[in-house]
Chain A
């Protein structure tokens, strides 16, 4: 499990775009999925943040067990991205769940901010309320703004909120 200040685990995972993607900082790693209402409710806010911070690499990673949750299969992920058509970040499949375990992901969504040196600077929820779109991923944006300004992140951890990661 990765703590604040620790080096984030490297990864190389396949994505729905047919490419492999490896961690490159500064970055935002979002463990997410297709079936969870919390992940779905926060998705647009996270996508907006990805568009608003073009210098930061955003990665959406689905680690859920597709045998028990077929809506999270790689095929279902591809279909979703094709249907929605405007994802500003790659949607990666963590079939072995090793990346999610290395990060210590608990829920979907669970958000990790990593600086250019690969150190974890924020972990938690995007903002305080999945139901209030006006919050606009404020905790994530606050952490990014402070990190990119070379400052300490004032609120480095919040409790992730969402559906539990569906482990094998």
Chain B
């Protein structure tokens, strides 16, 4: 399993996203290193198809697929938790479901 965290320094949420991701990988008994990819400019954002920070991909698939019209740029992602609240990081249960699907 390949696990990537793509992040941009303009959003302060990536440490929380990484901590949640690593915790869930441990809890699910998955031995996978998280590759951290810093997105530093718009050209790189377009090349990496980066919809915002943080973005988590498992085996190349975004765990919360963005819409087709989502621009690729240096921005912060807006996630929805399962209870409807807005969040800078994905719902942990969405992360867990993605890990389980890929395991």
Contact = CB atoms under 8 A, between A and B. Distances in A.
Interface of A: 35-38, 40-41, 68-71, 130-131, 133, 161-164, 166
Interface of B: 10-13, 42, 71, 73-79, 85-88
Contacts of A166: 10
A35 B85 contact: no
A37 B88 contact: yes
Nearest to B71: A70
> From DSSP, what is the main secondary structure of chain B's interface residues?
loop
Contacts, number: 43
Nearest to A38: B88
Contacts of B77: 37
Contacts of A70: 71
A71 B73 CA distance: 12
A38 B77 CA distance: 10
Contacts of B85: 41, 131, 133
Given A36-B76, A131-B85, A133-B85, 6 more contacts: A36-B11, A37-B76, A38-B76, A41-B85, A69-B73, A131-B87
Contacts of B73: 68-69
A4 to B, nearest CB: 23
Contacts of A40: 78, 86
A68 B86 contact: no
Nearest to B76: A163
Contacts of B74: 68
A69 to B, nearest CB: 6
B21 to A, nearest CB: 17
